[in-house]
Structure 1
Amino acid sequence: MVPRQELMRMYVLICMLIQNWMQRRRQLLGMFDGGAHNAEIHAYLDIMDGMLSSFLQPTQMCLEPILRRWWINPKTDVHWNVYTKTVWSDWMWKRYFRMPRSVFNMIVEEPRPHLARRDTRLRKAVPVDKQVAMAILYLCHKGSYSTVATFFGVGKSTAYKVIIQVLLCMEMVLLRRAVYLGDYRKVMDGFAELGFPQVVGAIDGCHIKITAPVHEDAQYINRKQQHSMILQGTCDQTGRFIDIVTGYAGSNHDTFVAKESPIFHALKAGIYIPGCPTLTIAGKQVGPILLGDGDYPIKPWLLTPFKVGHSKREGVYNRKSSKSRVVVERAFGRMKSRFRALSCNLDLELKM
């Protein structure tokens, strides 16, 4: 198919050829003036000149280059370079970035070797602290690329690329340093104070809403008829995540995600905690266990509450289980309230 611009050029060329033929016709008529039909031919040529001028005028307007006011829309990063660094107090910083400056500086230094870029002749590279700030502001304020781009004085496409790079780098560099078991003895002692001994973690799952993917979107529809991905988390007695698993479609059940998770297989094989310490309870050896809600299956290392219609002893068990298991539910609540983008539809690209 011929592009429109090429058709316009061909049209103009044909009009110019006709106009050139008419001019040469006038020259020939001038050389042989006095013919019987000379006046009629001159009138005919005048009419053709008017028609050609009317045809050529709009095409010439289309072919003329459009004068742009700017090749690149002007932007300013005064919010980041001036206000956030010199004017904002620590309270304002924590209000927008949901963390103290010291924690932010630590996060900046860890992935710096992976995020640092060189300046080019065309433009300067985005500094590492600015890249990390863009990703954190995106997570804290409902995931708007336009808001982040305006705040930091960059283009929307630049903001998108930077945010994705920072999040992938955080997963590669910071995830293992932030999400780990730690001292299992302190974890077990902490859950024992809550009423449940031998517990190394409380497990639960939540749904992270996403924009409907282009392919196989039906797999990501959960029970609330929303597109989502499942985030499974395991927390210690303080509500700190010690294990996370994500990437499964929202239509899957929590049991399926748990059975596919590494912590499930590690506890089943008895290798999650070195030595697999046991405790004698009611004459039986009990190893490290997890606490889950009623959606999870009952296993020797995974305990769930009793169903409705339980006895008095079972009610005491359920209350202690709920008191110990609530730490993971509170952890999810704190995470979603701090990073509001997790409560909105994430428009990230899914790798099928």
Structure 2
Amino acid sequence: MSVPLFVLRNERNRRYPQRKLLESLSEFEIRKHTGLPWWGAREILGWLEPHVEPKQFTNHAVTAESKVLTTLGFFRSGGFQWLMGSDCGLSQPTASRIIEQVSRVLVTESPKIVSFPDAAEQKRISTAFHAKSRFPNIIGIIDGSHVNIISPSQDERSFVNRKQNHSINVQIICDDQFRFIDAVASNPGGAHDSFVFRNSHIHHRFLTGEFGNGKLIGDSGYSRSPFMEVPYARGIITPFQNDYNKRLTSVRCAIECTIGRWKRPGENFAILQQKFVA
């Protein structure tokens, strides 16, 4: 997939005061080139714009809007940076710097968007999960998802996962509305899900009792604890345990759907289907 045409049409002859790229695009064009609905692209642009706006507004400055849309286009298409630069009138080094700048801002500012819910929101989530599964006090669903990377030059073996691919094991917690409420992306693919959780900040917060009776639901990769519900091992189990497993499986579909939407080929961010440098 090529770079967004709206960048190509506007980048060579830019005049900063007149540029309103999103306003000239249809819903279809925005979703096709960014992988996001129009309101999502506008929200991200408004969120990042103050952090990536050029210090001097000249005809040669790349505007915040172009920076954000170029980066989203790269995430969406997974294309080569040199091709992006050629298509939109930027050199490959410039395209690389733009993508790095916006990506760093995304990482730095992400806690303002992806944050664990407060007490009131926890109660709402718990009520929603209880209505669906009869599990009380559930405030999130946890799972790990692997994002492939190019084989690193250092500590290569620790990044090899069970499928013999090099990856990062990303821990994700979602709510009942398929929203990320916590994410940890600092562990190599060889790390087990339970290890990632035990060494995460959210585990420490549960240990200190910050969430009261709140619990998470996980799969068999996690250990049962006062704040973690996991299925009973397969084999000879009681009718109660069998019913428990069925109800747990039904509510765990929230995390499966969340991760599936995030990594769905051809519809969201193609870069997640490729290997990248960690």
Q: State the TM-score bracket (shorter-chain normalisation).
A: 0.7 to 0.9
Residue by residue over 1:66-88, the C-alpha shift from the partner in whole angstroms, topping out at 9 and shown as x without a partner, is xxxxxxxxxx9534559x65764
Give the 5 Å matches for 1:183-222. 183-195=121-133, 196-222=135-161
Q: What TM-score, normalized by structure 2, do the two folds share?
A: 0.85
Q: Do structure 1's residue 324 and structure 2's residue 251 form an aligned pair? A: yes
Q: Note if contact 1:293-1:305 (Cα within 8 Å) is conserved in structure 2.
A: yes
In structure 1, the gaps of 5 or more residues are 1-75, 277-286
What is the CA-CA distance between 1:100 and the residue it aligns to?
2.7
Q: Does 1:101 align with 2:38?
A: yes
Query: Over residues 242-266 of structure 1, what are the superposed CA-to-partner deviations in whole Å (9 max), with x where a residue is unaligned?
Result: 1111111111111110001111111
Which of 149, 165, 174 is 1:235 aligned to? 174
Q: 1:143: Cα distance to partner?
A: 4.9
CA contact (8 A) 2:78 2:274 kept: yes
Measured in 2, the distance between the counterparts of 1:312 and 1:177 equals 42
Does the C-alpha gap of structure 1 residues 152 and 319 become closer, same or farther in structure 2, counting only changes over 3 Å?
Answer: same
Separation in structure 2 between the aligned mates of residue 254 and residue 143 of structure 1, nearest angstrom:
31
- C-alpha contact 1:143 1:344 (8 A) present in aligned 2: no
SS across alignment from 1:194: helix
1:339 aligned to which of 262, 269, 275: 269
**SS at structure 1 position matched to 2:183:** strand
How many correspondences in the alignment?
A: 259
Max Rg structure? 1
Is the aligned partner of 1:291 residue 2:217?
yes
- Cα displacement (A) at 1:331: 0.5
Q: Which residue, out of 81, 106, 116, partners 1:180?
A: 116
After superposition, what is the alpha-carbon deviation per residue over 1:76-116, rounded to whole angstroms, capped at 9, x for unaligned?
A: 9534559x657642212212212233332221222223212
How far 1:316 moved relative to its partner? 0.7
Aligned to 2:15: none
Aligned to 1:284: none
**Residue identity in the other structure for 1:114:** H
The aligned counterpart of 1:60 is none
Paired with 1:96 and 1:120, the residues of 2 have a C-alpha distance of 26
Matches within 5 A, 1:42-191: 78-80=8-10, 88-119=25-56, 124-182=60-118, 183-191=121-129
Q: Distance in 2 between matches of 1:120 and 1:229?
A: 39
User: Is 168-177 or 332-341 further displaced after alignment?
Assistant: 168-177
**Residue aligned with 1:211, SS:** coil
> In the aligned structure 2, how far is the partner of 1:107 from the partner of 1:85?
12
Residues 1:259 and 2:198 are matched in the alignment: yes
Structure number with greater CO (CA < 8 Å, separation at least 6) is 2
Q: Percent identity?
A: 25
| Residue type at the aligned position of 1:255 | S
Look up the equivalent residue of 2:45 and give its one-letter code: V
Residue equivalent to 2:230: 304
Distance 2:39 2:122 in 1: 28
